Amino acid sequence: MFSTSVRLVCIASLLCGLSGVSLTAHAADKSPVKAAAQAAAGAVKVDNAWIRATVKGQSGTGGFMSLTASQPLTLVGFSTAVAAESELHEMAMDGNVMRMHAVPSLPLPAGQTVELRPGMDGHHLMLMGLKQPLKEGDEVALTLKLRTADGKTLTQEIKVPVKSGSMTMAPAGSGASGAQTGGMKHNHMHHGPMHEAH
């Protein structure tokens, strides 16, 4: 079981969506900010959203997306009917171990694309206590909770497709795996057992 107060260690990259080796700095792969023409949809533009599919017995998974706010906003959380608990998570190296931990919020500066992505120094939406398996082709309704610069709370409904764990944003670690991540194996995540460290 997951506990909100316990730091989780991501072994076998199953939970946190570590995929391949993603050492690139934020600036390096930041895509140009697209002209946010359609403002009507919501306070924040959501691109490339996906949730990692689960394997049998897996109770938590990650959600990833690019967020571009049209005004200064702070992502303060999210909710979804498919998970008992939802948190914003950040990945960080602790020695040679990749860990993820909850963060209270994530700033979304106006006009800048903030990527929630697998891998080192990335953030993700953490879905815990899943009430059902999530499989490729499913679609999950999420409600993003946002705070405006003047303290108002906004919510935004989005639909996020579920994709299999081997689907990555970064190049898969076929050639250059291992060394940079403390030797963790990057096998296809939907084949790996789930490990939970403490």
Minimum CB separation from Cu ion for residue 111, in Å?
Answer: 27
Minimum CB separation from Cu ion for residue 15, in Å?
Answer: 6
Minimum CB separation from Cu ion for residue 87, in Å?
Answer: 7
Parallel/antiparallel/unpaired status of strands 139-148 and 153-163:
antiparallel
Nearer to Cu ion, 21 or 127 (CB): 127
Nearer to Cu ion, 86 or 113 (CB): 86
Q: Which residue has 């990527």 as its token pair?
A: 115
Is residue 106 within 8 A of residue 88, CB to CB? The reply is yes
Which residue ranges make up the site for Cu ion (CB under 5 A)?
16, 89, 100, 126
Minimum CB separation from Cu ion for residue 105, in Å?
Answer: 15
Residues 6 or more apart from 107 whose CB is under 8 A from it? 72, 73, 74, 75, 114
Minimum CB separation from Cu ion for residue 132, in Å?
Answer: 19
Give the residue closest to Cu ion by C-beta: 89
Nearer to Cu ion, 60 or 173 (CB): 60
Residue 185 in tokens: 């194996």
Nearer to Cu ion, 111 or 129 (CB): 129
Per DSSP, 172 falls in state: P
Q: What gap in Å lies between CA 183 and CA 177, rounded to an integer? A: 8
Nearer to Cu ion, 21 or 100 (CB): 100
Nearer to Cu ion, 45 or 134 (CB): 134
- Which amino acid, one-letter code, is at 116? L
Per DSSP, 171 falls in state: P
Q: Which residue has 């190296």 as its token pair?
A: 93
Minimum CB separation from Cu ion for residue 16, in Å?
Answer: 5
Q: What gap in Å lies between CA 96 and CA 28, rounded to an integer? A: 23
Is residue 5 within 8 A of residue 28, CB to CB? The reply is no
